[in-house]
Amino acid sequence: MRLPALHWQIVIALALAAGAGFWFGDVAGFITFCDFVGKFFLNGLKLLVVPLVLSAMIAGIGAITQTKALGRYGLVTLGFYVGTGFIAILTGLLMVNLLQPGIIGGKPAGPLLGLDSDVGDVMSTVQGKGAGDLLDVLLRLVPENLFAAAAAGDMLGLVLFGFLFGYFVSRLPSGLHKTQREFWQGLYEIMISIANVIMRLAPLGVFGLVAPIIAKTGWSAFKPLAWFCVAVLGALTIHVTVTLPLVLRFVARVSPIKHFRTMGPAMLTAFSTSSSAASLPVTIDRLEKHGGVPQRITGFVLPIGANVNTDGTALYECAAAMFIAQAYGLPLDLPTQFIIVLAALLTSVGVAGIPSASLVAIALILGSIGLPLEGVGLVLAVDRILDMCRTAVNVFGDSCATVVVARLNGEGGVHGEPALGSSVK
Ligand code: ASP
């Protein structure tokens, strides 16, 4: 029998979880079973955090900076990725600070979401790992022992290490460089294959995580989650309808409307597959055949962008980490928000263009601010629908990067426009 597509399986699992939660209520055996299934799935995700993020970052950064022949494209591309990613994160941060979805009626929404852990317990684990002050955060970027930091779930140092490692891989002499790149790319692809196996369990995982919440709290869990969705969707909408069109209009000097028309089918593909990597052929086709971008630019910017330039993902990671921290009652002072922004920016580079890849990065960010990685379970029920939306934004962001690079390199014919007078050559 052919099973329905994964997102439908997850929707069905959600509906079954709601029904079973109400039906069985707080029956001990049922809750034990669900806890086991949910934990099994979450453990699978957590298992991948260190090797997946590290290999993805090293392979990804190695690819961006490996631009000796393409140096002039490389710099603009990198600038675009970092700049728009940062703005996207700040937009997400702003929305979550404004709407405070993790705080309902002035209190952390943890209990409404079925969080059993006492805030006091969480605070004691946060101590020493949370953001004491800014200098402390900077010190934690350079842990004295990388493995001890990773094992303790203190991921900040690991992320910076991955970044530096990737950069210096790209500076190695060509023989060594090739060996290193192939090694990390291989490791990354193995991790992705394992991730795919684990994601097949997502419907079961969602059931196991959501049913006990419904059993313990009824519908009250939906209020914070609904607000969280509003915050994320609002921020994604601002990014796609304000920030990126402004870049198209004032940096690339092309019509944002024409660009939207060109990219519609690619965004729909991204929406239905939740995978920027799977949408790549459509994105390339639309930009080359309908947007007039030459193949030498799409061929360079898009394959890297699909894995590295993930504005929607960066925004989501930041919003989700903030929401989970609010739900746990963690005080979100400036240093903590700084860590979240920094970690979202760095890890979004390493998030693969496949469904639900952000979950692993969110677990890593939670570890960086000292929260239990289980916190990821709070957003799982709505992750898939938000994944569809953020992936469409990722693909739109990649397409904008391609147009900007083409225009700044003096290419004519993009959306029928003549070449820009200035060039970054
Ligand atoms: N699904 C996203 C993409 O393919 C990645 C993520 O945010 O999970 O771009």
Higher pLDDT, 65 or 115: 115
Give the CATH number for residue 283: 1.10.3860
Confidence of residue 99 (pLDDT cuts 50, 70, 90): very high
For 406-424, the pLDDT digits (tens) are 898 877 778 888 877 644 4
Q: What pTM does this model have?
A: 0.79
What is the atom index within ligand 1 of the atom nearest the CA of 274? 1
Assigned domain for 421 exists: no
Quick one: which atom of ligand 1 is closest to the CA of 277? 4
Is 1 part of any domain?
Answer: no
pLDDT on residue 57: 74
Most confident of 224-233, 288-297, 350-359, 382-391: 224-233
**Res. 285 pLDDT band, cuts 50 70 90:** confident
Identify whether 423 is part of a domain: no
Choose the residue to mutate in 356, 364, 387 for probing ligand 1, maximizing ligand atoms within 8 Å of C-beta. 387
For residue 131, name the pLDDT band (cuts at 50, 70, 90).
very low
Q: Is 394 in the pocket of ligand 1 (CB under 6 A)?
A: yes
| Highest mean predicted confidence (pLDDT) among 52-56, 132-136, 197-201, 386-390 | 386-390
Q: Looking at the domain assignment, is residue 88 inside a domain?
A: yes
Q: Higher-confidence residue: 81 or 422?
A: 81
Report the share of the chain in percent with pLDDT over 70.
Answer: 89
Range of the domain at 166: 6-416
User: For residue 191, is pLDDT > 60?
Assistant: yes
pLDDT digits (tens, 9 = 90+) for 32-69: 888 898 888 888 877 877 887 788 778 777 766 555 44
Amino acid identity of residue 229, one-letter, is C
Give me the number of domains the chain comprises: 1
**Which numbered atom of ligand 1 lies nearest the CA of 278?**
4
